[in-house]
Amino acid sequence: MRYTIAEDKAVGGPGHAGSLVALGDGVAELRPERPLRLFTNLQMRVQGPNGEDLPGDVYAKVAGPPSATGAVLIHFTTLPRAVRRHLEEQAAAGERRGSG
Q: Residue 72's pLDDT is what?
A: 97
- For residue range 52-94, list pLDDT tens digits in order: 999 998 999 999 999 999 999 999 999 999 999 999 998 888 7
Long-range CB contact pairs, 63-71, < 8 A, 24+: 63/27, 63/38, 63/39, 64/38, 65/38, 66/35, 66/36, 67/29, 69/21, 69/31, 70/31, 70/32, 70/35, 71/21, 71/22, 71/29, 71/30, 71/31
Q: Mean of the pLDDT values across residues 36-50?
A: 93
Q: Is the pLDDT of residue 9 over 90?
A: no
Q: Is the pLDDT of residue 99 over 60?
A: no
pTM given for the model: 0.85
Domain with 78 in it: 2-99
Q: What CATH number corresponds to the domain at position 12?
A: 2.40.10
Domain count of the fold of the chain: 1
Mean pLDDT, all residues of the chain:
88
